Amino acid sequence: MSLSIMVIVVTSAAFAQDARLRRLDTGDDGRAWEAVGRLDIGGSGFCTGALIAPNLVLTAGHCLFDKDTNERIDPVSIEFLAGWRNGRASAYRNVRRAVVHPEYIFDGEVSSERVRNDLALLELERPIRNTTITPFGTAARPRKGDQVGVVSYAKDRSDAPSLQEVCTVLARQDGVLVTSCSVDFGSSGAPIFTMENGAAHIVSIVSAKAEVDGDKVSLGTGLGAPLARLQAEMVAGKGVFQKVAKTPRVGVNGARHDTGAKFIKP
């Protein structure tokens, strides 16, 4: 089903309950979110990623493609900056290999299927074993009306993460989570959270932004079976690449380049 014909019922009350983005400038502000980091891709652009194990980063699949060539980007050109804030990271790691959901089609029709498979898992060269950086657990997709949150980097705020503690699940359809969370270029791959017993658990990954009746929304990729499939691909030893492809991206200074790491707008 095309995303442009998804039937989404959105009420203004849902948006009114949302919290504003809060920049996490200090160590105290960002302490609980150190496992979210910026993924620098080829030194010319970035996405957002999050640790789900000491050596595994979850992000969006389209971050690993070059729009000009439609080719996969060699993961060795990617660096994960855990807790990146004002010129420093809590840990720096290069990426050893990456797997993208086998059913994700980068150059295909914009559809629910494309968004729900827009998931990638990156294996770091070395695990991050730091007492201040705790990988996130995952949880089942929330229901319509549930409150979630998001931590992301984006253009004009690439030097520190921003937290939106409260946004709302507007719809679940065809494996796509539609939320009122505030995202922008660079937020691709950002973790969407629910809170369980005081701890954040990832329930979705930002794939795209869109508009519904003039209101900006974000489209999230579900986890569950898609993530389990990626983990199985990792265990099977897949995802090793040698060729380095050209990697134009959304520049870290906020400038936009032609790139696969962009959002769709149905």
Asked whether the beta carbons of 4 and 219 are under 8 A apart, the reply is: no
Using pLDDT thresholds of 50, 70 and 90, give the confidence band for residue 42.
confident
pLDDT for 111 equals 79
SS3 content of the chain, % helix, strand, coil (to 5): 15, 40, 45
Q: pTM of the entire structure?
A: 0.85
Q: Is residue 247 a part of any domain in this protein?
A: no
Domain-embedded: residue 180: yes
Does residue 255 belong to any structural domain of this protein?
no
- Is residue 214 a contact partner of residue 224, using CB atoms and an 8 Å limit? no
Contact 83, 33 (CB under 8 A): yes
**Does residue 103 lie within any of the structural domains?**
yes
pLDDT in tens, 111-166: 788 899 999 999 999 999 999 999 999 998 899 999 999 999 998 889 999 999 99
Residue 264 covered by a domain = no
Burial of 114 (0-12, 13-18, 19+ CB in 10 A): buried
Q: Give 78-124 pLDDT, tens digit per residue.
A: 999 999 999 999 999 999 999 999 999 887 676 788 899 999 999 99
Of the candidates 201, 215, 132, 125, the one whose C-alpha atom is nearest the C-alpha of residue 170 is: 215
- As for how many domains the chain has, the answer is 1
Residues 8 and 242: their CA atoms lie apart, in Å, by 43
For residue 260, being part of any structural domain is answered with no
Domain containing residue 54: CATH number: 2.40.10.10
Q: Are 84 and 43 in contact (CB under 8 A)?
A: no
Digit-coded pLDDT (tens) for 183-207: 988 899 999 999 888 899 999 999 9
Residue span of the structural domain in which 29 resides: 3-235
Q: How far apart are CA 148 and CA 57, in angstroms?
A: 20
| Mean confidence (pLDDT) of the chain | 83
- Cα–Cα distance measured from residue 220 to residue 52, given in angstroms and rounded to the nearest whole number: 17
In a domain, 259, yes or no: no
Residue that wins the pLDDT comparison between 215 and 203: 203
By the 8 A CB rule, do 97 and 75 touch? yes
Q: Is 244 a member of any domain?
A: no
Distance between CA 225 and CA 222 in Å, rounded? 9
